[in-house]
Amino acid sequence: MKYPCNIIRDILPIYHDDVCSEESKAAVKKHLGICEECKKYYETMCDSDVIEQFSFDNEMERKKADSYKELKKKMKKRNLGIIIGVILGSLGVYIVIGMFLLLVLGSNYENAEVEVYTNIGDYEKYMSGEEAESEFQTKWGMDETIFPEEITTNMKVQDYKMVYYNPFDAQYLGYLVVDYEEQDYEEEVNRLKNYQSTEYKGYYGVTGFDKQYTLVAMYADEYQGFVYALTDNEDTIIYVEMIFCNYFMDLDYKEYIPEDYLPTGFDATVDNAYRKKMLGE
């Protein structure tokens, strides 16, 4: 089972102090092995003072073990009042942690700003890779090779936009519209058709695309979203990416991407049916 990033980050403190269950350890290890964003978040946490607020030292562990022993004794005596007191005492630490996390996450959400970039001269800064700005380097491991590697002089860029938002987990929206000369257009279409496209229908309710465009390349992930290219079958190619996690987007994607470029049926709102299905709700 693939757990949302915010759940994994909630339990990183107790994972760090080795006081979570074996199942939780395994889930965190697996997630950190495939999610660069959470791995960096964990490394930053380990190197900062924040982790000290979640630290459980040996004395705490000893006291907690003693509490459980005492609890067993009290259970034998059927002293319900003392049992409840011990349980609440054990839960108190986790309640404090939970409240602290809620405050931190709430602050992040309120302070996060939607960043919109439209200068095509900065194109390479926002495409994943070592040369990109730090927040754009991985993009949850999604394959962006459908997009052009660089903007060249024979490309007539008609429109461009890259959007970044990170209230809890990073989200990306972007599109690039390019007109090509006849030969360049054919070469680019052939490049895209040779791309090993993935299945995409059914993800987030998607059924296809508007009839005025033809899909020529697609990289879809059932969790992280889509990267694809469309053509008008004349001289224009439209490159689009929608990258997110947790089965929904905080961003209003229709505000930033022309609706004609979006897949038909696409729904990544917080209450979308696909999310409920994948989470078993």
Q: Residue 2: helix, strand or coil by DSSP?
A: coil
Query: Hey, what are 195's tokens?
Result: 């791309």
Looking up tokens 């694809």 gives 228
- What confidence score (pLDDT) does residue 50 get? 47
Closest CA to 173 of 234, 244, 124: 244
How would you class 13 by CB atoms within 10 Å of its CB: exposed for 0-12, middle for 13-18, buried for 19 or more?
A: buried
- What confidence score (pLDDT) does residue 60 get? 54
The region that residue 78 occupies, defined by phi over 0 for left and psi between -120 and 50 for alpha, beta otherwise, is left
Contact assessment for residue 190 and residue 153, using Cβ atoms and an 8 Å cutoff: no
Distance CA 230, CA 216 (A): 6
Question: pLDDT by residue for the chain (281 residues), tens digit each?
Answer: 667 788 888 888 888 888 788 888 888 888 888 888 888 888 887 876 444 544 444 455 555 555 555 555 555 555 555 555 555 555 665 555 555 444 544 444 567 899 999 999 999 999 998 889 999 999 999 999 999 999 999 999 999 999 999 998 999 999 999 999 999 999 999 999 999 999 999 999 999 999 999 999 999 999 999 999 999 999 999 999 999 999 999 999 999 999 999 999 999 999 999 999 999 98
CA separation (Å) from 201 to 120, 207, 239? 31, 5, 18
How is 176-193 classified by DSSP, letter by letter? EEEEE-HHHHHHHHHHHH
Looking up tokens 């279409």 gives 189
Distance CA 22, CA 5 (A): 19
Cα atoms found within 13 Å of the Cα of residue 244, Cβ hemisphere only: 24
- What confidence score (pLDDT) does residue 155 get? 97
**126: part of which helix (H) or strand (E)?**
none
CA separation (Å) from 75 to 67, 68, 69? 12, 10, 10
- What confidence score (pLDDT) does residue 80 get? 53
Contact assessment for residue 113 and residue 96, using Cβ atoms and an 8 Å cutoff: no
Domain extents for the chain?
A: 5-111, 115-278
- What confidence score (pLDDT) does residue 2 get? 66
Query: Hey, what are 225's tokens?
Result: 């979203």
Contact assessment for residue 148 and residue 155, using Cβ atoms and an 8 Å cutoff: yes
